[in-house]
Amino acid sequence: MIDFVEGTLCYLDSEYIVVEAGGIGYRLFCPNPYQFVRYEGSKTKLYTHHHVREDAILLYGFATRDERDLFRKLLDVSGIGPKGGLAILAAATPEQLVMAVQQENVTYLTKFPGIGKKTAQRIILDLKDKLVGYTPSAILTVAAGDLTAGEQAVSALNEALEALTALGYSDGELQKIRNALAEKSKEGESVEKLIKQGLALLMRG
């Protein structure tokens, strides 16, 4: 069982990133590969889930153990496979997902791709007891050198918008959420959280 992969991020795609470790390139499917764009060419570490099926052996990578743990819990829900689990984690932080389950917020959960009312209810039924007392830890980010707080905010906002553009959203769509993300970036939100908040806003239309 591979618990994590640590090495150089060689390149990324819309569904996965490739990390070179010990002369081997590991393809890791991620909730949002573009959250790692700023680490391209640098050393990074991802926590992994090793998924085996009849026709493939796949590795799924996550920025934190919290994300991986929630992914594994989602896989235990009837009707949710790896792709569905990744889609949910791409659009919500662990904190948002846990809160939605604990509050039995069906409306929020049905905003995720491929999640209808029945599946949302199953998520709540299957996970509510498992998430009692579960408090996701804060996601750690790499220090941004000697940049000022204002420069870091602008840099984070631009990286988040670039990632959303790479996911296929138009300039017009992004302009509608730019101000909201700019405010969040000024509050010190990480690029990863800005991307997830942007996806949540875009899902609302």
Give yes or no for residue 40 having a pLDDT over 60: yes
Return the pLDDT at 114. 84
Q: How many CB atoms lie within 10 A of CB 176?
A: 12
Query: Tokens representing 149?
Result: 């707080």
pLDDT band at 39 (very low <50, low <70, confident <90, very high): confident
Per-residue b/e over 140-173, b at no fewer than 16 CB within 10 Å?
A: ebeeeeeeeeeebbeebbebbbbbbeebebeeeb
Give yes or no for residue 106 having a pLDDT over 70: yes
**Structural domain boundaries of the chain?**
4-62, 66-127, 149-204
pTM, entire model: 0.66
The dotted CATH code for 66-127 is 1.10.150.20
Q: Are 4-62 and 66-127 in the same CATH fold? A: no
Backbone φ/ψ region at 195: left (φ over 0), alpha (ψ -120 to 50), beta: alpha
Of 100 and 149, the structure prediction assigns the larger pLDDT to 100
Identify the CATH assignment for 4-62 out of 3.30.70.260, 3.40.1800.10, 2.40.50.140, 1.20.1250.20.
2.40.50.140
